Structure 1
């Protein structure tokens, strides 16, 4: 096992590193129930847009609604399509507004199209469904949670637990979310709020529209008796956050640096890629973690303390809006392109806010030393982790350490030019490791095959010396 030594500056103990346990940055998984649920079907169509209409009964924990999907055939003679749906019952299906036959099993709904469609031909399906949502039994607890607030979590493959869709990250779409709830509640979701309708019967309907391409695992709902905190970035991008009324004053203080974070990342990577940003407070990961839902991060309620104690998780999730949400790994083999970049962005925020010495200290103590202590004498490969290890430290802190090595090799100018080029080249699309390697290779005088073979595809362990 090779080791690459990088000289960095150490300046005493890390203030940032002591704020929160690093475990709070990782998506948590129960180790008592690990299984992967896959759809055994060929993806023969491209989903273009989902319109999700839903009524939620918080007391009964019951949902009913329909999903209208705009699809485009990717093969000639397409006669069936399948969606993932688990634990909910399909009532009826329409294709181009005409009733259609379907078969539902425990994992899939398979729809017989009323005619055949050739490559490039577009059509719609509309699936009416209802039931009591369950959570996934694979350790990730994906689905719709009915806690103090109602909130959803679908990472890695859990949208299927609350709405029917082709639930894989490589088919990104636009979405519209139309949700009806009791009128005491507020609904936060992806994109821009188009309208709010008082139905005059004790319910209210929220209409949210996401105009950027989004993966199904990033589609989100958060519902509570929220109050809003409104900020702006560059006088053009709304920052619309939703918090518990009792946490409002704390949150105002804790969120004050979000525009600065957005500025630092925009300068480093390219302009903020979405129409809105914001956060919604909920009990995600027991209130101690967060999830980078596109334009509306779910933020654990224990991270709002009025003292900016959750600042590094807030900036981590924001960085995902560039890497993970806008540039989405094609499959979970390349999850490091999301999590490793977000961890390294934490350090870049520290550098932009407090200088290079603070940055190097953060890299050493909060990233590299944490990883070495966690790994002990074991070695792990970043590329293609097992299903239950998608969000382990080698996809987070080890991957971030590898990015620091790459910066050291290329030099600051070339490294950050490569990051901007990578972001602009693959904006709003899916990426794999070879895409990133291909871009950075253009900024290196060395052939980088050995670097990626050792540190991404192999088991090499970075070693920082001070």
Structure 2
């Protein structure tokens, strides 16, 4: 829960008093100014918006694969972090029919992939407000040079909305940056016979007039790029694990003992193993979705329900390693999210290290052997921290990041190391963090200075000495 500061409460009370006296400030009043149209993260120029913080998204979308048309209604509940005369939402390529702010029609216009909203009166700092947006059109994918195709992809039997760092704004209006996390209720209406999968716990499913509405709720704050929508002909398996719902899905033509289904069936087991190292599983649902579209050349840690591209299950053999990687992200990246994309090693380095831990647990090589092999193969000229947008999914982020994690373990010992991990995931659960935050925690737990040591492993230009 985010508590409003006394200054926020005072500002809101003042606005109420002025309104009661017939003196509601207009949007031109000097106390109000436009929210920024860009949060200034150089890895995602034009993404994110300033002046407000979203607490909740209620999304109600309808998708017809035959026409590739999506219609939607998004209701955002937010808090103004400054006096707002207008504000922006990220929305790519769709047509906006109507915008309502606090029950009153609001002016709106498009500026590229920005939806610019001017409410009928200024929003005082600290005020909680709602925005309703009715929109529709044919969603379009985005092509990111670092990762490949993403966004909203029309498929042979439905659609997939997926991608990092871009995807959410292709199917709903959003403050599209991980620094502004929110909870979600998602209702998806599709033709009968198709599955419509998303994040969080499943809700009641209803059919009417040839259409079925699937409902999902993610009650833990979620970064926007971690949302997903997978529509198509899937075999959906629903059950419980550790008292929580677990929902997995594979294409209907995938055999029940095929590599994707077999790998996803280990989700609960792998999550339990990781919980023993990282602390309690942070969400109220488990799951995974395997897709067949070859444009999805990656797996993504979409919150509570990772999505796996087809390349991970070739050759007819299960691949629990990728499941371990994406499930580790539920702690590192999802529950504790980035404040800025230049720190993406905090996501990928720990998830790669989780693969090493799982391999050792599952009867393979030890984490130490994996460390030694990767140490010998590493290009130390490439940094893990701030690698540049084009290298944000590069080997230095994943593999060198994992080397730094294991080096920290060797330097401080297992007791301190796993305490650092568990305190990180507990203290920053549902929030965000930076490399500086992690270093400060590690130094406090270990009782020694660690910044020069970690700098050598993460950004130094030559191979560091082995601890």
Sort the TM-score into its range (normalised by shorter chain).
0.7 to 0.9
Structure 1 contact 364–464 (Cα < 8 Å) conserved: no
Counterpart residue number, 2:33? none
Over 3 Å counting, the alpha-carbon distance change for 1:461 and 1:239 in structure 2 is: farther
Structure 1 contact 350–358 (Cα < 8 Å) conserved: yes
Counterpart residue number, 2:74? 67
Counterpart residue number, 2:273? 264
Higher alpha-carbon deviation: 108-117 or 276-285: 276-285
Structure 2 contact 69–136 (Cα < 8 Å) conserved: yes
Counterpart residue number, 1:98? 104
Structure 2 residue aligned with 1:245, among 228, 241, 252? Answer: 252
Matched, 1:187 2:193: no
Matched, 1:57 2:59: no
Structure 2 residue aligned with 1:233, among 218, 233, 241? Answer: 241
Q: What's the CA shift string for 1:27-60, capped at 9, x where partnerless?
A: xxxxxxxx96633886111101011111111122
Matched, 1:205 2:213: yes
Structure 1 residue aligned with 2:174, among 165, 175, 179? Answer: 165
Counterpart residue number, 1:48? 55
The whole-number CA distance in structure 1 between the counterparts of 2:48 and 2:337 is 22
Deviation of 1:249 (Å)? 2.6
Structure 1 contact 315–346 (Cα < 8 Å) conserved: yes
Counterpart residue number, 1:12? none
Structure 1 contact 142–159 (Cα < 8 Å) conserved: no
Deviation of 1:350 (Å)? 2.0
Over 3 Å counting, the alpha-carbon distance change for 1:256 and 1:179 in structure 2 is: closer
The whole-number CA distance in structure 2 between the counterparts of 1:361 and 1:205 is 49
The whole-number CA distance in structure 2 between the counterparts of 1:354 and 1:464 is 25
Counterpart residue number, 1:196? 205
Structure 1 contact 180–205 (Cα < 8 Å) conserved: yes
Over 3 Å counting, the alpha-carbon distance change for 1:187 and 1:443 in structure 2 is: same
Over 3 Å counting, the alpha-carbon distance change for 1:118 and 1:458 in structure 2 is: farther
Q: How many residues align?
A: 421
Deviation of 1:436 (Å)? 0.7
Structure with more relative contact order (C-alpha pairs < 8 Å, separation 6 or more) = 1
SS at match of 1:136: strand
Structure 1 contact 233–262 (Cα < 8 Å) conserved: no
The whole-number CA distance in structure 1 between the counterparts of 2:74 and 2:49 is 21
Over 3 Å counting, the alpha-carbon distance change for 1:362 and 1:307 in structure 2 is: farther
SS at match of 1:249: coil
The whole-number CA distance in structure 2 between the counterparts of 1:162 and 1:459 is 42
The whole-number CA distance in structure 2 between the counterparts of 1:101 and 1:368 is 57
Gapped regions of structure 1 (runs ≥ 5): 1-34
Structure 2 residue aligned with 1:399, among 392, 398, 401? Answer: 401
The whole-number CA distance in structure 1 between the counterparts of 2:297 and 2:271 is 23
Counterpart residue number, 1:32? none
Counterpart residue number, 1:124? 130
Deviation of 1:97 (Å)? 2.1
Counterpart residue number, 2:32? none
Structure 1 residue aligned with 2:349, among 316, 321, 340? Answer: 340
Counterpart residue number, 2:302? 293
Matched, 1:138 2:140: no
Counterpart residue number, 1:255? 264
Structure 2 residue aligned with 1:214, among 192, 217, 222? Answer: 222
The whole-number CA distance in structure 1 between the counterparts of 2:129 and 2:84 is 11
Deviation of 1:460 (Å)? 4.2
SS at match of 2:85: strand
Structure 1 contact 142–161 (Cα < 8 Å) conserved: no
Deviation of 1:347 (Å)? 0.8
Structure 2 contact 403–457 (Cα < 8 Å) conserved: no
Counterpart residue number, 1:223? 231
SS at match of 2:411: helix
The whole-number CA distance in structure 1 between the counterparts of 2:426 and 2:153 is 36
Gapped regions of structure 2 (runs ≥ 5): 1-41
Deviation of 1:287 (Å)? 5.3
Structure 2 contact 108–117 (Cα < 8 Å) conserved: yes
TM, length-normalised to structure 1: 0.85
Over 3 Å counting, the alpha-carbon distance change for 1:332 and 1:37 in structure 2 is: closer
Structure 1 contact 254–307 (Cα < 8 Å) conserved: no
SS at match of 1:279: strand
Structure 1 contact 157–217 (Cα < 8 Å) conserved: yes
The whole-number CA distance in structure 2 between the counterparts of 1:186 and 1:225 is 6
Deviation of 1:82 (Å)? 0.4
Structure 2 residue aligned with 1:319, among 319, 328, 333? Answer: 328
SS at match of 1:422: helix
Deviation of 1:120 (Å)? 1.9
Higher alpha-carbon deviation: 94-103 or 165-174: 94-103
Q: What's the CA shift string for 1:326-370, capped at 9, x where partnerless?
A: 111111011000011100001111233337x533333344x445x
Structure 1 contact 232–259 (Cα < 8 Å) conserved: no
Structure 1 contact 287–303 (Cα < 8 Å) conserved: no
Over 3 Å counting, the alpha-carbon distance change for 1:287 and 1:82 in structure 2 is: closer
SS at match of 1:347: helix
The whole-number CA distance in structure 1 between the counterparts of 2:302 and 2:107 is 34
Counterpart residue number, 1:28? none
The whole-number CA distance in structure 2 between the counterparts of 1:424 and 1:186 is 34
The whole-number CA distance in structure 2 between the counterparts of 1:351 and 1:231 is 28
